[in-house]
A and B are shown apart, each in its own frame.
Chain A
């Protein structure tokens, strides 16, 4: 792999996005994300894909500035108006985020896919990675868990309309407000919860930071109906893979049942931010997050020095 002294965060760091120093004052954050539809409504799908793509930039502490659309579309089988609605949804979130669309690329594909390549700005000294948890820090999660399980129920035609609306709104919500609020606080590390699930992403943080974490299972915000769907076997395969991959790092107290464990490993689409903040400021940060409209933000646990590389879920 070619190396470059200006590459601040690259592939080897496995962080949310790549960061490249342009000058002493400016670094670029780059990320790309695309996927197949997870909700039936094309406009909502566009919104979710954009919110999901910008999320990696927010998780690094940066501000997204430009975006390019990536589209794979089955033009022979699907009406072009569907694509228009998807793009409109993406543009809607770009406007909200202050991002400008600079181009894109479309191919024909039997399976619809949409996503964005996003570029953001950040000061090179203020890059927020996953690897700087400090023992004693409070851990705050900004969105409820369960989108993977609920999306499985949606695929199966078993989710209630109300649930679809609630989870769609959450997935389409930008992590912008949360990122704006946290800039005023001593936040040491941050990531966004996506495909590896809450415990998967927390595992990366504790391994990278050389410490451990203690999580209060009952404090974790979870979408309503999630545990019911999980109990009836509507758990996505990704949750089992995440569990298998990281189970050796996690100690579950006997009171944490299997269903809740699966929720903690459930892969999220456009999940919330998981951030680590100095404990004496955690309550103020939480207050400001909630005042800023992030009502589900919750303190879910703390960073501990020992045992290193382990997560205790109690």
Chain B
């Protein structure tokens, strides 16, 4: 379904909020938003980008028409937290709070976690969320041995969430290369919606 939204004359954050509200009301495959200023153009595009839409922008006089189409790859793994949008498949959430697996030999632990994340794909479509907190966020930054694999997962539609507080704590905010920065509320909400939570 396509819907059009006229946000001309509205100051930020109103255009983003109206777009968000519309997306929450119904599942749309395409949405067009008309705005009349640069800030709204940037903010609405950015918001729709985080909801896995593909964006194109057309200038119409002094206004901007943002056309957003739901990206095809998002089909199998719905990134929205909206429970009604989820399928009947089991939803498995994996929470990774460390950059090594188990206690004991450190080097072995680091190898194991890489192997673990690589093997996670065997779960298939039921793998629903991959969440990184505490030392785990170090797996999502520049130079991480598992970065390419994670980026591949993300490209295939798996929602990867990375704890913002943790990135800030380690001064790694600008080094993160995969996943969406998230907060505790999102993590807790995801736990509640998941059928199974695996913590590492």
Given A233-B43, A237-B12, CB of A227 within 8 Å of CB of B171: no
A-B residue pair count with CB separations less than 8 angstroms: 81
Chain A residues, CB < 8 A from B11 = 237
Given A231-B50, A232-B46, A237-B37, CB of A257 within 8 Å of CB of B174: yes
Q: Are B46 and A160 in contact (CB under 8 A)?
A: no
B94: interface (CB < 8 Å): no
Q: Of B37, B171, B172, B173, which is in contact with the most chain A CB atoms at under 10 Å from its CB?
A: B173
Q: Are A225 and B43 in contact (CB under 8 A)?
A: no
Q: Are A228 and B13 in contact (CB under 8 A)?
A: no
Q: Select which of B43, B165, B171 is within 8 A of A234 by beta carbon.
A: B43
Q: Of A156, A228, A255, which is in contact with the most chain B CB atoms at under 10 Å from its CB?
A: A228
A164: interface (CB < 8 Å): no
- How far apart sit A241 and B37, CA to CA, in the bound complex (Å)? 11
Chain B residues, CB < 8 A from A236 = 12, 39
B145: interface (CB < 8 Å): no
Q: Are A256 and B164 in contact (CB under 8 A)?
A: no
Q: Are A255 and B174 in contact (CB under 8 A)?
A: yes
Q: Are A227 and B164 in contact (CB under 8 A)?
A: yes
- How far apart sit A120 and B12, CA to CA, in the bound complex (Å)? 36
Q: Are A234 and B164 in contact (CB under 8 A)?
A: no
Q: Are A218 and B173 in contact (CB under 8 A)?
A: yes
Name B39's closest neighbour in chain A (CB-CB): A237
B116: interface (CB < 8 Å): no
Q: Select which of A155, A231, A260 is within 8 A of B180 by beta carbon.
A: A231
Interface residues on B, range: 20 to 34
Chain A residues, CB < 8 A from B17 = 156-157
Q: Are A232 and B182 in contact (CB under 8 A)?
A: no
Q: Select which of B50, B142, B171 is within 8 A of A255 by beta carbon.
A: B142
- How far apart sit A222 and B169, CA to CA, in the bound complex (Å)? 10
- How far apart sit A248 and B114, CA to CA, in the bound complex (Å)? 42
Q: Are A228 and B42 in contact (CB under 8 A)?
A: no
Q: Select which of B38, B42, B45, B164 is within 8 A of A225 by beta carbon.
A: B164
Chain B residues, CB < 8 A from A307 = none
Chain B residues, CB < 8 A from A217 = 174
Name A260's closest neighbour in chain B (CB-CB): B174
Chain A residues, CB < 8 A from B62 = none
CB within 8 Å of B: which A151-167 residues: 152-153, 155-157, 160
Chain B residues, CB < 8 A from A106 = none
Q: Of B12, B40, B42, B174, which is in contact with the most chain A CB atoms at under 10 Å from its CB?
A: B174
Given A152-B12, A233-B13, A234-B13, CB of A222 within 8 Å of CB of B42: no
Q: Are B181 and A227 in contact (CB under 8 A)?
A: yes
Smallest CB separation, B69 vs chain A (Å): 18
B16: interface (CB < 8 Å): yes
Q: Are B174 and A256 in contact (CB under 8 A)?
A: yes
Name A261's closest neighbour in chain B (CB-CB): B174
B185: interface (CB < 8 Å): yes
Q: How does the 8 Å CB contact mask read for B13-43 relative to A, with 1 for contact and 0 for none?
A: 1001100000000000000000001111011
- How far apart sit A301 and B172, CA to CA, in the bound complex (Å)? 17
Q: Are B183 and A235 in contact (CB under 8 A)?
A: no
Q: How does the 8 Å CB contact mask read for B156-195 relative to A, with 1 for contact and 0 for none?
A: 0000000011001001111100001111010000000000
Chain A residues, CB < 8 A from B180 = 228, 231
Q: How does the 8 Å CB contact mask read for B33-70 relative to A, with 1 for contact and 0 for none?
A: 00001111011111100100000000000000000000
- How far apart sit A248 and B19, CA to CA, in the bound complex (Å)? 32
Q: Are B38 and A240 in contact (CB under 8 A)?
A: yes
Known: A152-B12, A160-B183, A233-B42. 5 other contacts (CB 8 A): A224-B183, A233-B47, A235-B43, A237-B12, A241-B39
Q: 3 closest Cβ contacts across the A-B interface?
A: A233-B47, A237-B39, A233-B43
28 contacts between A and B (CB under 8 A): A152-B12, A157-B17, A160-B183, A160-B185, A218-B171, A218-B174, A224-B164, A225-B164, A225-B165, A225-B183, A227-B164, A228-B164, A228-B181, A228-B183, A231-B46, A231-B180, A231-B181, A232-B46, A232-B47, A233-B16, A233-B43, A233-B50, A234-B12, A234-B43, A236-B12, A237-B39, A237-B40, A256-B174
